[in-house]
Structure 1
C-alpha cells in the first residue's frame, strides 16, 4: 500500500548561474530535483526522497548536505566510490537561458545499479516522479530496471507522474527516445509534457494532438506550452488554463519543472486538475522572477496560496 511520501528519480547537478564578470554562483539543480524542491515546499509534512546515485567527493557530500538542510533525503541511493556529480552552467540572453553541460561520467548514471535499493526507495510513496532525462542518462538495461521498479511502485498503490522532457543531445537517436518514452507512459498516471518537446520528438501539430496521442496510455495529461495556455485533459475532457504573463522575467530556468511540482502538490492536496494547473502557473510565474532553478520555499508557498 502506498504511504505518505513523495519521491523523485533522476540527476541533480552542480549549477553555475548568476555570472558577474568572472564569478559564478554555485548551487544544485536538475529537472527532477527542481520538481521535487517545489513539491516538497508545497506538500507540508510529506517525507521527500531524491532517488539517484552520488559520488564520494566533497561536492557530493555538500549536495547531500544541502538536501538534508532542506528536509530532503536520499533514501537508499547508492554512494559510488570515485564518482562525482555532473555540472552545468546557465548563460542568459535577457531572461532566456542556454546551458553548457559536463555530465558524461556523473554518478547519477548509476542510479539503477542496485535494483533492490531502487525498489526500496520507491516503497511507501504516495507519488513517484521521473522524467525523460532520467531515462536518457541510463543505459538500456538500467532503464529497464528503472521502469520495472516504477511499475512495481504503481502496482503497490503509488501515483506515478512523468514528464517526457525530451533533450535530443542525451539520446543516441530519435527512435530510441520515442521507444523509451512510450514505455514510460505505459506505467504513468499523470503525464506532464511540454508541447515544443513533443512536437520535436513526435511531430505533433497541436497541443491537442499531443494530448490525444498520450491518451492512449495516460488518463490525466497536462500539456505545458510556455506562455501559452496549458491544456488539461482528464478522462477525455479538455480545458485550457491560461498562463500568467510576467512582464520582466529574470530567469526562466526551472519554470516548467516547478510548474510540475506545483501541479502535483495541488493534486495531492485534493485539488482538481484545473485548480492544480491554476496554482502551478502561479508557481512558474514566481520562479521566473528569481535567478537559478530553485526559488525560496517561502516564495513558492506564497505563490501557491495566491
Structure 2
C-alpha cells in the first residue's frame, strides 16, 4: 500500500475515558479508550503524519486535562465539540494476574455527542490518509447520531481516505444483538480494512472458527485480519488467507490495550507499504510489547522498538 503525501493525516473516532488502574493499595489515573489506544500506537509509528482524535469533550477539569494530555503527545482534537456541562466517562481496571476486568461509569459521557455537529465532524475527516473507528464508537451513539457518523465516514472514503474498522463488540453497550449486527454491517460496507477479534465475532454471530469470521466479513471487505489473542492472526486479503503466529509473552504484566495496539501496528505497517502478512507480524510484536507494561498506552519508544524488530 503506497503512502499518499497529499493525505498526511490519521484520524480515529471514538471515546476517550478516564482510566483508573490499581497500583498496590491505591489507584493511578490516566486516559484511554479503544480508538485512542489505536491512535496512540499509530502516532508513535507514523510520526510524520498528523494525528487527530475525533470525539466530543466537556468543559470540566478532567476534559481539559484530556485535551492537554493529547497536546503534550502531539495529538490534536481538530474541530471536535467542547460541550458546556459535559464530562468524560470513567472506567476502573482490576487485575487478576495479567488479566483484567473493567467497571464503567459512562452513561452521560460527552463522547456520546461526537456527531452533534455534522459540519465539524465532516471537517475533521477531510483530507486524511486513514480514518479509523470501532463498534464501540457506534454503540455509544443514538440512531440519528450513528447515521451522521456513517455518512461522514462514507464521504471521507469517497474523497479518498482509507477506512479501517474494528467491530469490537461489547454486549452491554447494545440494546440487542440484532441492533449490533445491523450497525456493524453498515460500517463494514464502508470499510477497506476490517480488524475483528474472533471471540467477539463468536459471541455476536456464533462463528465456529476464525476462518468462518474471515470468510463472512470478506464478503464485504477486501482486507480482513482476525485477531485471536495469543493464537495466530488470520489475514484474508487479495483472495488468499494467511496465518501469522502471535508472539508468546511468558509473564505478561497487563493485557489492557493489546488488541488496539495490534490494530495500530498493523495499520502503520500497511501505510508504510508492508504486505498484509508482514504488517500482521509487526503488529504482533507491538501487542507483545504492550502487554509487558502497565496500562493501555505504552511509551512511544517501546512501540517503535517493537515495530522495527
TM > 0.5: yes
Determine which of 232, 244, 247 is the counterpart of 2:247. 244
Match of 1:20 in 2: 24
Question: Of the candidates 166, 169, 173, which is equivalent to residue 169 of structure 2?
Answer: 166
Is residue 114 of structure 2 the alignment partner of residue 111 of structure 1? yes
Residue 93 of structure 2 aligns to a residue whose secondary structure is: strand
Instruction: Give the gaps of 5 or more residues in structure 2.
Output: none
Q: 1:33 aligns with which of 32, 36, 44?
A: 36
Deviation at 1:205, TM superposition (A): 0.4
User: What secondary structure, in the 3-state scheme, does the structure 2 residue paired with 1:183 have?
Assistant: helix
TM-score by length of 1: 0.99
Distance 2:100 2:198 in 1: 18
Q: Which residue matches 1:82?
A: 85
Q: Which residue of 2 aligns with 1:92?
A: 95
Is 1:149 the counterpart of 2:152? The answer is yes
Q: Deviations over 1:143-200 (max 9, x none)?
A: 0000000000000000000000000000001100000000000000000000000000
Match of 1:149, SS state, is helix
Match of 1:281 in 2: 284
Partner SS, residue 283 of structure 1? helix
2:193 aligned with 1:190: yes
Give secondary structure in 2 for the equivalent of 1:90: strand
CA-to-partner distance for each residue in 1:83-131, whole Å, 9 max, x for gaps? 0000000000000000000000000000000001000000010000000
Q: How far off its partner does 1:216 sit?
A: 1.3
Q: Give, in whole Å, the separation in 2 of the partners of 1:104 and 1:291.
A: 26
Structure 2 Cα separation of the partners of residues 182 and 36 of structure 1? 23
Aligned residue pair count: 305
Verify: 1:305 aligned to 2:308, yes or no.
Answer: yes
* Deviation for aligned residue 1:18: 3.3
Aligned mates of 1:111, 1:44 — CA distance in 2: 26
The two structures have a TM-score, normalised by structure 2, of 0.98
CA distance in 2, matches of 1:18, 1:268: 36
Are 2:132 and 1:129 aligned? Answer: yes
Of 276, 295, 298 in structure 1, the residue corresponding to residue 298 of structure 2 is 295
Residue 10 of structure 1: which of 7, 11, 14 is its match?
14
Runs of 4+ in 1 over 4 A off after TM superposition: none
1:16/1:26 contact within 8 Å kept? yes
CA distance in 2, matches of 1:142, 1:285: 36
SS at match of 1:278: helix
Cα separation, 1, equivalents of 2:46 and 2:168: 23
In the TM superposition, residue 45 of structure 1 has moved relative to its aligned partner by 1.2
Unaligned ranges ≥5, structure 1: none
C-alpha contact (below 8 Å) 1:90/1:97 kept by paired residues: yes
Distance 2:76 2:62 in 1: 16
User: What is the RMSD of the two structures over their aligned residues, measured on CA atoms?
Assistant: 0.8
Q: Matched residue of 1:263: which SS?
A: helix
Give distance in 2, aligned partners of 1:44 and 1:61.
24
Secondary structure at the aligned position of 2:180 is classed as helix
Asked if the contact 1:18–1:292 (Cα under 8 Å) also holds between the matched residues in 2, the reply is: no
Per the alignment, in what secondary structure is the counterpart of residue 58 of structure 2? Answer: coil
Distance 1:63 1:52 in 2: 11
